[in-house]
């Protein structure tokens, strides 16, 4: 909503907090929105339906979305099912910053500090999340909740469904379907007061689930797989703690720390619940998946993070042996990837020995530990001679139950097969036409997932990053306008395969005019120069992509979207 000014955002968020200040007990968000509409002038354009969510007015979205700054500042608490409370810090902030602009500016500043490592701010904002993990501190409390007859059917169905699908969103629609109810609003009513029930049974009012939104913006609930394991009676046996589509604990590794949750992955990669769920399903179904997209679209970054998540690793720090990363290139061969003869010197004597390559070594480990996932990430998969590198894998990737004899093996050596718990993720640059394209035989053995910087006139990855980083709305709208405009022109000239990736803009330099000029001069224009190197009118084309030209077009249009 680029036509929503910074002043309007400040007015609406401040108004919502002022309404809450009059209700120490808290209010449901729909009552807050109605009170704001009754007491404050709302711009006419914001009283129209939000095109992304037809049941929601645009000013509803503005307040719901932009009050993330107040939440991260520790001023506002949202329980995830519609009830908001103004904290003591929030009340103090209203007194200290009486104007809407001052109030929102301070919230944005604290949000920015929160994003960049201010431990005190993070502690205030994340206290709620930590409190929701009480079952990990004392599992007996959760088991007491499970065995209690005080839960009504909707409350029990929520916990049963969330534990059955750990790490995945459960909506009130899901609960209604589980209970055979036609109206989800009856479920919402039945969930009301759940915190009181929990307080009576477990001594805490915090729900043992995280709160999220589904694709339609409806409330959803996600249970941490560790908590789900307790609910499902798996706490005592780590070997059975295999969370479906979420992080896992591996008994053979002796791993005491759990890997990243789906929510951590979503936040780290600026993706959505739906995207990660689809990637999991594609990889589980086919076992081979290729991320394709233009340069700078985050393919390799997301592939590495997803592989960590999929195998139970943490998103940061050293990877364990369950994730192997390799980059293909023109000199890379079968001997490097599968098996080959290598020279070896010992005591001054040269000999040749048979050595396993990266992939065969991974398969041997996976074969010994069938309950664990192993992933090889192949960066720039189309940069190598694929037929030469893969060899027999063209057969085995499709027929995992088949066995073949490798060319260098002795006659009595075991036949080679790819274990079912080995997964392959490749990345492919769609812009570099000098590289070999994936042939049809290999393409049939992979699913493909495109990471496009701009989709239907929007830049979802960049927008999520700008919001998460707390970039001021005016700068955010300008950067998004420039990014969408330049990619519209690139698509018109060359097609979607050559779009400029969002990672070029995921840089603190976007905050300043000087920084944006640096990005344009040292990154964007050199890339476009390569794209148009065969065009006779190359200098004229590049002028159309210059920063002053695009800024002038945006200014003339009056709003960033008009440059499209």
Q: Give the pLDDT confidence score for residue 342 in this predicted structure.
A: 83
Burial zone of 345 (CB within 10 Å; 0-12 exposed, 13-18 middle, 19+ buried): exposed
The hierarchical CATH code for the domain 266-450 is 3.40.50.300
Q: Mean pLDDT over all residues of the chain?
A: 82
> 348 versus 52: which is more confidently predicted?
348
Q: Is 533 exposed, middle or buried (0-12, 13-18, 19+ CB in 10 A)?
A: exposed
Task: Specify the pLDDT at position 419.
Answer: 94
- Tokens representing 447? 């699913």
Contact partners, residue 46, CB within 8 Å, separation at least 6: 4, 8, 57, 58, 59, 62
Query: What pLDDT is recorded for position 44?
Result: 85
The residue ranking higher by pLDDT, 239 or 461, is 461
What pLDDT shows up at residue 462?
Answer: 95
Q: What is the pLDDT of residue 241?
A: 32
pLDDT band at 80 (very low <50, low <70, confident <90, very high): low
- What's residue 54's pLDDT? 52
Radius of gyration, alpha carbons of the chain: 27
- Domain parsing of the chain, residue ranges: 6-128, 134-236, 266-450, 460-563
pTM: 0.57
Pairing of strands 349-356, 219-222: unpaired
| Coil/strand/helix, residue 118 | coil
User: What local confidence, expressed as pLDDT, does residue 57 receive?
Assistant: 81
Q: Is the pLDDT of residue 244 over 50?
A: no
The reported pLDDT for the residue numbered 115 is 59
Token duo for residue 252: 């053979």
| Digit-coded pLDDT (tens) for 195-233 | 778 888 888 878 888 876 555 556 678 888 888 888 887
Q: Tokens in use for 235?
A: 């706490």
Return the number of other C-beta atoms located less than 10 Å from residue 243's C-beta: 25
Q: Helix 299-311 and helix 273-286: axis angle, to 10°?
A: 70
pLDDT category of residue 259 using cuts at 50, 70 and 90: low
In this predicted structure, the answer to whether residue 491 has a pLDDT above a threshold of 80 is yes
Distant-in-sequence contacts of 325-329, Cβ < 8 A, 24+ apart = 325/376, 325/377, 325/379, 326/358, 326/376, 326/377, 326/378, 326/379, 327/378, 327/379, 327/380, 327/383, 328/378, 328/379, 328/380, 328/381, 328/382, 328/383, 328/384, 328/386, 328/389, 329/380, 329/383, 329/384
What six digits make up the tokens of 321? 């042996």
CA distance 349 to 341: 16
Nearest to 275 by CA among 63, 126, 464: 464
User: How confident is the model at residue 413, as a pLDDT?
Assistant: 87
134-236 folds as: Arc Repressor Mutant, subunit A (1.10.10)
- The residue-averaged pLDDT of 288-317 equals 93
Output the pLDDT for position 179.
85
Average pLDDT over residues 304-333: 91
Q: How far apart are CA 375 and CA 305, in angstroms?
A: 11
Rounded Cα–Cα distance for residues 113 and 119 (Å): 9
Q: What is the C-alpha to C-alpha distance for residues 51 and 456, in angstroms, rounded to an integer?
A: 13
End-to-end CA gap in the chain: 15
pLDDT band at 261 (very low <50, low <70, confident <90, very high): confident
Q: Residue 503: its pLDDT value, please?
A: 94
Alpha carbons within 13 angstroms on the beta-carbon side of residue 342 total 15
Q: Is the pLDDT of residue 442 over 50?
A: yes
Question: Where is pLDDT greater, at 241 or 308?
Answer: 308
Rounded CA-CA distance 81/220 in Å is 8
Average of pLDDT values for 256-280? 79
DSSP notation for 278-342: HHHHHHHHHSEEEEEESTTSSHHHHHHHHHHHHHT--SSS---TTEEEEE--TT--HHHHTEEEE
pLDDT at 174 over 80: yes
The strand ranges marked E within 7-118 are: 27-28, 49-50, 53-57, 76-78, 83-86
Whether residue 123 is predicted with pLDDT greater than 70 in this model: the reply is no
SS (H, E, C) 163-230: HHCCCCCEEHHHHHHHHCCCCHHHHHHHHCCHHHHHHHHHCCCCCCCEEEECCCCCEEEECCHHHHHH
């Amino acid at each position: 909503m680029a036509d929503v000014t910074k002043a309007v955002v400040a007015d609406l968020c401040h108004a919502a907090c002022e309404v809450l200040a009059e209700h120490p007990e808290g209010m449901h968000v729909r009552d807050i929105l109605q009170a704001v509409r009754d007491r404050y002038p709302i711009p006419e354009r914001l009283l129209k339906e939000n095109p992304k969510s037809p049941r929601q007015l645009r000013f509803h979205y503005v307040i719901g979305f932009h009050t993330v700054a107040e939440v991260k500042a520790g001023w506002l608490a949202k329980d995830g099912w519609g009830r908001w409370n103004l904290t003591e810090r929030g009340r103090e902030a209203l007194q200290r910053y009486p104007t809407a602009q001052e109030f929102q500016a301070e919230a944005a500043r604290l949000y920015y500090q929160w994003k960049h490592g201010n431990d005190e701010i993070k502690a205030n904002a994340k206290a709620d999340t930590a409190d929701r993990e009480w079952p990990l501190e004392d599992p007996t409390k959760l088991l007491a909740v499970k065995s209690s007859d005080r839960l009504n059917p909707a409350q029990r169905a929520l916990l049963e469904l969330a534990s059955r699908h750990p790490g995945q969103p459960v909506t009130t629609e899901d609960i209604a379907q589980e209970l055979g109810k036609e109206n989800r609003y009856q479920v919402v009513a039945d969930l009301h007061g759940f915190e009181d029930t929990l307080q009576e049974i477990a001594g805490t009012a915090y729900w043992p689930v995280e709160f999220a939104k589904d694709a339609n913006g409806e409330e959803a609930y996600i249970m941490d797989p560790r908590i789900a394991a307790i609910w499902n009676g798996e706490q005592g046996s780590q070997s059975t703690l295999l969370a479906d589509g979420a992080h896992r604990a591996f008994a053979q590794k002796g791993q005491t720390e759990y890997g990243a949750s789906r929510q951590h992955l979503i936040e780290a990669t600026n993706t959505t619940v739906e995207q990660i769920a689809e990637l999991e399903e594609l990889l589980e179904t086919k076992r081979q998946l290729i991320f394709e997209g233009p340069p700078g679209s985050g393919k390799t970054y997301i592939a590495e993070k997803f592989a960590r998540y999929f195998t139970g690793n943490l998103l940061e720090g050293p990877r364990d042996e369950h994730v192997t990363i390799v980059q293909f290139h023109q000199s890379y061969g079968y001997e490097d990837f599968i098996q080959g003869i290598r020279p070896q010197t010992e005591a001054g004597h040269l000999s040749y020995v048979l050595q396993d390559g990266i992939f065969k070594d991974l398969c041997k480990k996976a074969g010994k530990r069938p309950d664990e996932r192993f992933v090889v990430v192949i960066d720039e998969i189309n940069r190598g001679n694929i037929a030469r590198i893969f060899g027999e894998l063209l057969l085995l990737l499709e027929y995992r139950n088949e066995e073949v004899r490798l060319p260098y093996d002795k006659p009595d050596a075991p036949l080679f097969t790819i274990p079912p718990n080995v997964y392959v993720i490749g990345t492919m640059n769609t812009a570099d036409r000098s590289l070999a394209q994936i042939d049809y035989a290999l393409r049939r053995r992979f699913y493909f997932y495109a990471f496009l910087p701009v989709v239907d006139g929007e830049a979802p990855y960049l927008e999520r990053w700008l919001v998460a980083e707390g970039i001021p709305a005016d700068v955010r709208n300008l950067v998004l306008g420039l990014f969408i405009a330049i990619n519209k022109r690139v698509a018109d000239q060359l097609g979607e395969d050559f779009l400029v990736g969002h990672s070029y803009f995921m840089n603190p330099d976007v905050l300043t005019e000087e920084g944006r000029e640096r990005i344009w001069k040292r990154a964007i224009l050199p890339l476009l120069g390569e794209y148009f190197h065969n065009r006779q009118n190359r200098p004229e084309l590049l002028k159309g992509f210059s920063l002053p030209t695009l800024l002038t077009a945006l200014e003339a249009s009056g709003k960033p979207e008009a440059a499209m």
